């Protein structure tokens, strides 16, 4: 399987945007903010009018943007933290997101 390069993957860039946009809206302290697929998907659909597969979040994890956190609902929902929010903003600006 070919390694993912986010610079060449528009969908993954958009998923990172939706993840970060949802994350920024939370009132909790940044170190305690969690995101999950269903929450991000709503944001993504709202802006891009389409969906993405949940496995794409694990690709963001492999690239170092996300880190797995706790799981709940018998392991059916996976939560993530954004590893380095300061790294995300300039990338989204570069991609005009």
Residue 28 lies in a domain: yes
At CA 68, angle to CA 26 and CA 17, rounded to 5?
50
Domains of the chain: total:
1
Contacts 24+ apart (CB under 8 A), 78-81: 78/36, 78/37, 79/34, 79/35, 79/36, 80/19, 80/34, 80/35, 80/36, 81/31, 81/33, 81/34, 81/35
Residue 87 lies in a domain: yes
pLDDT for the residue numbered 20? 98
- Interval 58-97: pLDDT, tens: 999 999 999 998 766 666 788 999 999 999 999 999 999 9
The residue count of the chain comes to 97
- Decide: pTM greater than 0.85: yes
d(CA 31, CA 47): 26
- Interval 31-64: pLDDT, tens: 899 999 999 999 999 999 999 999 999 999 999 9
Q: Which of 70, 76, 84 is nearest to 35 (CA)?
A: 70
pLDDT for the residue numbered 55? 94
Give the CATH number for residue 55.
1.10.10.10
Residue 1 lies in a domain: no
Residue 55 lies in a domain: yes
Tell me the residue range of the domain where 65 lies.
6-94
Instruction: Tokens 């609902």: give the residue.
Output: 73
């Amino acid at each position: 399987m070919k390694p993912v390069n986010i610079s060449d993957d528009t969908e993954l860039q958009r998923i990172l945007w939706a993840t970060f946009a949802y994350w920024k809206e939370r009132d909790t302290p940044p170190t305690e903010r969690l995101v999950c697929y269903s929450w991000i998907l709503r944001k993504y659909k709202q802006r891009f009018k389409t969906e993405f597969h949940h496995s794409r979040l694990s690709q963001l994890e492999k690239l170092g943007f996300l880190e797995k956190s706790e799981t709940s609902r018998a392991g059916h929902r996976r939560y993530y933290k954004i590893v380095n929010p300061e790294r995300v903003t300039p990338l989204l600006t570069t991609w005009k997101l």
